[in-house]
Amino acid sequence: MLQEPRFLSAEQFLLTTLIVKLAIMAVLATMLARYHRFRHILIFERRGWLDRLVFVLALGVPLTAGVTFRLLLNYNAADLTLEGAFLAGLIAGPYAGALVGGLVGLPPLLAGEFIALPFAIGCGFAGGGLREFCPKEAIWQFTPFVFIDLRRHIWRMVRKLETNWQLLLLLAPVALEVLRQALGIRFGASRLFYLGSTSHWMTALVVLATVLAVATPIKIWNSARIEHRLQEQEKLLLAAKIEALKSQINPHFLFNTLASISSLIRTEPDTARTVIIKLSGLLRRLLRSHQHFISLREELESIDEYLDIEVVRFGPKLTVVKEISPDTYDIVVPSMILQPLVENAIKHGLSRKVDAGSIVIRSRREHGRVVIEIEDDGMGFVLDRLEQPMSSGIGLANVRERLRVIYGATYQLTLTSEPGKGTIARIEVPELMAVAPVTA
């Protein structure tokens, strides 16, 4: 059985228009916040003319398209002239607001709505003027939920006899919407577009929708600003933690080397002097380097300087062999990540060995990951004591913590050992060919 088509009443149609209008503004604000350049403009209050121009075009062009759709297709919900111009002035200043107002007011001017252009530009200057006097953080605190705390804002203003910027930010779009309604009624919709109604309640909803259409983008953009700040804080925290761990390993290495020098001073003073000279050169290199990530090539050069000291101490008893795959030299690794492993191989593996010993340093790429191994033919560890070096002392524990902080769950640090035959320390991390320097 066919049913007769049902049409929306005038009030239902207006309510639907207001809801769609808010949805359009929210979608536009969300899309703009996803672009890096636009988000950069939101984050930093000091903006050059180029940044302001980008902001004007990014916001003004889609708003102008919406006004055009309203003129051509009679789609009233797409017209955000007042909200867009006022918002642009509030965020980027009076000139940016006026430019956006000029963009959105030009199509209706060409269509015969002669009041549209000066009204839109005026809205831009109104937002910009309010920005000049209002604290910037107060603007970003303006939310669509300001009505919930309206009584508290009024009471605070009356009790402390001070300016409540949230109330001013609320009253400004309300006043502009009331002015648009008055001008529209006085000169007609053919001279200035407005959403008219025959009910006071519906007029109040129109005013409310205008406020929400201004507050919603501010809320969305402020969330993007907060997210950016949290990301920056996480980066700084990570850099500080890496710096602390790196700073921890340097005194550890220095203490062990000085202990070795002290044992050589009386028996072999010339050897002790040579070790001190090489140690001073290595310390100069460490003091000059403030990078947390370096290429494997640079890390191996640092290891060579450390091994020079150890070769002087051990003499011909220590042999160092490198099996480095050529395609791994430019792989990025944390600085000073191999030195504790080499030191551990010498201290816990070879120093207890009577005969000559050797250390083999290997590297290779496997399925998008880089594998680095430090192998010694020292005394090794008993199986139930294998985890002891990983949990005690500074060296290996520091390496494991640094890898965990930097790579999360994507790293592997394992020790395999056989008593009397030696130990292999194996690092496996994601392959990175370049990285931006991180400083704490």
Distance from the first to the final alpha carbon of the chain: 75
C-beta atoms surrounding 136 within 10 Å: 10
CA nearest to 332, candidates 295, 297, 378, 364 = 295
Does the pLDDT value for residue 19 go beyond 60?
yes
Task: Give pLDDT tens digits for 360-387.
Answer: 999 999 888 899 999 988 877 765 544 5
Nearest alpha carbon to residue 335 among 261, 222, 437? 437
Domain boundaries, the chain: 10-231, 287-430
Q: How far apart are CA 214 and CA 173, in angstroms?
A: 8
Please give the full DSSP string across 202-216, using - where no structure is assigned. Answer: HHHHHHHHHHHHHHH
Tell me 343's DSSP state.
Answer: H
Q: Which residues fall within 8 angstroms of residue 364, CB to CB, at 6 or more apart? A: 325, 328, 370, 371
Q: CB–CB of 96/89 below 8 Å?
A: yes
- The CA-CA-CA angle for residues 129, 130, 136, to 5°, reads 120
* pLDDT at residue 251 tops 70: no
pLDDT of residue 248: 52
Q: For residues 314 and 317, what is the distance between their CA atoms, to the nearest angstrom?
A: 6
Contact 56, 104 (CB under 8 A): no
pLDDT band at 403 (very low <50, low <70, confident <90, very high): confident
Phi, psi of 371, deg, nearest 5: -115, 125
In this prediction, residue 126 carries a pLDDT of: 95
pLDDT at position 333? 86
Please give the structure tokens belonging to residue 123: 């809205």
Quote the CATH superfamily of domain 287-430. Answer: Histidine kinase-like ATPase, C-terminal domain (3.30.565.10)
247-256, 294-303, 342-351: segment of lowest average pLDDT: 247-256
User: Is residue 79 within 8 Å of 165, Cβ to Cβ?
Assistant: no
pTM of the full structure: 0.60
For the record, the structure tokens of 299 come out as: 């890390």
Report d(CA 298, CA 314) in Å as an integer.
Answer: 24
What's the pLDDT at 79? 93
Q: Are 126 and 176 in contact (CB under 8 A)?
A: yes
- Between vectors from CA 90 to CA 84 and to CA 92, what angle results, nearest 5°? 95
Strands 293-295 and 357-366: unpaired
